[in-house]
Amino acid sequence: MESSDIDAVTRQLGRPPRGVRSVAHRCPCGNPDVVETAPRLPDGTPFPTLYYLTCPKATSAIGTLEGSGLMREMQARLAEDPELAAAYQAAHDDYIARRDKAAEDEDMEPLPRDMQSTGGMPLRVKCLHALVAHELAVPGGNPFGGEALDALGEWWKDGPCV
């Protein structure tokens, strides 16, 4: 990853990022907004969040969505709609496969199979930040991430976050 990207992510987070492998998505403003992280931190600690949302404008807008009750509505739909549940399971399976591939690429032991993927997948809708990060990194890969992303609007329209 380029040092300018590391600098941008450091400013976005207010601290140096941990275990970053690459920029997984760029905001239309040009800054990274999602980074891909290694499945384990340099000290070996498991880090199950493969795609990490870094843009403070996006995270703030998603926090507003979470506060609106959207996750409760999504959770209810997940319980009632078998096709949606299958798509969410597929998103989980894809996430685990990508995380395992990242571990292999980094010559690390993969995380245990029973460890969470992200955002509550595949049975819960727990963190829209993580689901949106997944959707931005893998367009079309996460049904709830896609819905939340659509609901966000143009969070970048007022210029770069840093």
Yes or no: say if 51 and 34 are a contact pair by the CB < 8 Å rule: yes
- Name beta bridge partners: 46: 40
Q: What's residue 159's pLDDT?
A: 80
Q: What's residue 71's pLDDT?
A: 95
Yes or no: say if 103 and 111 are a contact pair by the CB < 8 Å rule: yes
Q: What's residue 156's pLDDT?
A: 87
- Output the CA–CA distances (angstroms, integers) from residue 4 to 16, 42, 67, in the order listed: 12, 21, 33
Q: What's residue 153's pLDDT?
A: 87
φ, ψ of residue 77 to 5 degrees: the values are: -65, -35
Q: What is the pLDDT along the chain (162 residues), one digit of tens a residue?
A: 899 999 999 999 999 999 999 999 999 989 999 999 999 998 999 999 999 999 999 999 999 999 999 999 999 999 999 999 999 999 999 999 999 999 999 999 999 988 888 999 999 999 999 999 999 999 999 999 999 999 998 988 888 888
- Output the CA–CA distances (angstroms, integers) from residue 66 to 1, 100, 151, in the order listed: 31, 29, 11
Q: What's residue 116's pLDDT?
A: 80
First vs last Cα of the chain: how many Å apart? Answer: 18
- One DSSP character per residue, 10-23 reads HHHHTS--SSEEEE
**Model-level pTM?**
0.94
**Helix or strand or coil: residue 25?**
strand
Q: What's residue 160's pLDDT?
A: 82
